[in-house]
Structure formats: C-alpha cells, structure tokens
Amino acid sequence: MAFSRVATPSDNDFSQGSNNVERTLILIKPDAMARGLAGTVLSRFEAKGLKIAGIKMIQLDEALLKAHYRHLADKPFFPTICEFMSRTPVIALCLEGLEAVEVCRSLCGVTNSRKAAPGTIRGDLGMSMQANLVHASDSVDTAKAEVARFFSEAELFGYEQPVINFLYASDERG
Ligand code: ADP
C-alpha cells in the first residue's frame, strides 16, 4: 500500500495555478476545550468547506506563547493571555481552502465575543474578549509563519476530497 504526504496546498486537489489556495492556523482555545465545544468549533470549519491538512492536541508552553503572542507582549493583559492559553491543552488545526485565511477570520468573528456577529463562532458561542474560543491567523504571511510554528512538514497531509468538485465551481478549481 502506498502512502503519500503533501506539504504544499496547491499541488493537491486543486490544479496547479490555483494560487489562492491557502493554509491557515486555527487554535481551539482552552475555554472551548473546557466547555466541551471543541467538536462544535471544528464542525463549523468543516461544514464551511475547509479541509483539515493538520490536526493535533498540544499544551502551549511559555516559549510558544511568547512567540505566538509576540505582537501583544507590551499589553497589560499579556500575562493573563498566557495563563488562559495554557490552562488546558489546545487543538491546533491547519485548514486549507481558497482564501482560507480570510474565510476563517470571518467565521470566527471579531475578537470581543460580545460584539461578534451572530452566525460567527464567537458571536454564537462566547461572551468574553479573552475567552473567545478560537484563534485564526490574521494574514497570509502570518498564516505561513504560524503553520510552520505549530506543524512540521510531516504533520501536514494532502489527500483527496472528492467533494471538492461540488464545493467549488470548475473555474475556481483552476
Ligand atoms: P484576534 O485573536 O481576534 O486576532 P488579537 O490578536 O488582537 O485578536 O489578540 C489575541 C488574543 O488576545 C485575543 O483573541 C484574545 O484572546 C486576547 N485579547 C485581545 N485583546 C484583549 C484584551 N483587551 N483583554 C484581554 N484579552 C485580550
């Protein structure tokens, strides 16, 4: 039996030239884990049509948190983020699809769950600014860095998903 791993998104189910195929990093945060909402959060992304390229449970340590939240290191709430994000293991996901970075950000909703629009993950499931269920990379460049920070090449998988022929129009598949 032959096994294959594909580490780049564009040479998998989409034909070459579909250069809007992106991978992004999602973290299912400790509040979602503790509330038994990990499956609910994951199913929102799956139902939308994002493909799981990588998935694992991980306990965030200080070094990883400092790197991941470097842009917030000067904020007064930085220590509480680190405490919150290490309270339970999290589930890290690498999700793939056309314009996946922006699609996932939209699905999550704005940072403050109380202000997030109904229909979004945070808007439907949360009440907090900090305990907002989910992290999603905020740009294509950030996504590349974050996926590489959380996943090795060997942990990212390419595999056929025949539904792709119905999920996207033929011109979108390249
Ligand atoms: P986002 O996760 O929506 O991209 P940020 O990158 O600005 O937002 O912040 C990272 C995380 O830090 C947020 O998801 C949230 O958990 C936490 N956070 C942001 N702002 C605050 C704040 N003012 N008070 C407490 N926690 C915050």
> Measuring CA to CA, which residue among 104, 101, 94, 99 is closest to residue 155?
94
CA of 17 to the centre of ligand 1 (A): 35
Q: Tell me: the pLDDT tens digits for 23-64? A: 999 999 999 999 999 999 999 999 999 999 999 999 999 999
**For the chain, what percent of residues have pLDDT higher than 90?**
87
Residue range 87-107: average pLDDT? 98
Please identify, by atom number, the ligand 1 atom nearest to the C-alpha of residue 135: 2
Q: pTM for this one?
A: 0.92
Mean pLDDT of the chain: 92
What pLDDT score was predicted for residue 2? Answer: 44
DSSP string, 98-109: ETHHHHHHHHH-
Residue range 67-71: average pLDDT? 97
Burial class of residue 116 in the structure, from the number of CB atoms within 10 Å of its CB (0-12 exposed, 13-18 middle, 19+ buried): buried
Burial class of residue 145 in the structure, from the number of CB atoms within 10 Å of its CB (0-12 exposed, 13-18 middle, 19+ buried): middle
Closest protein CA for atom 1 of ligand 1: 111
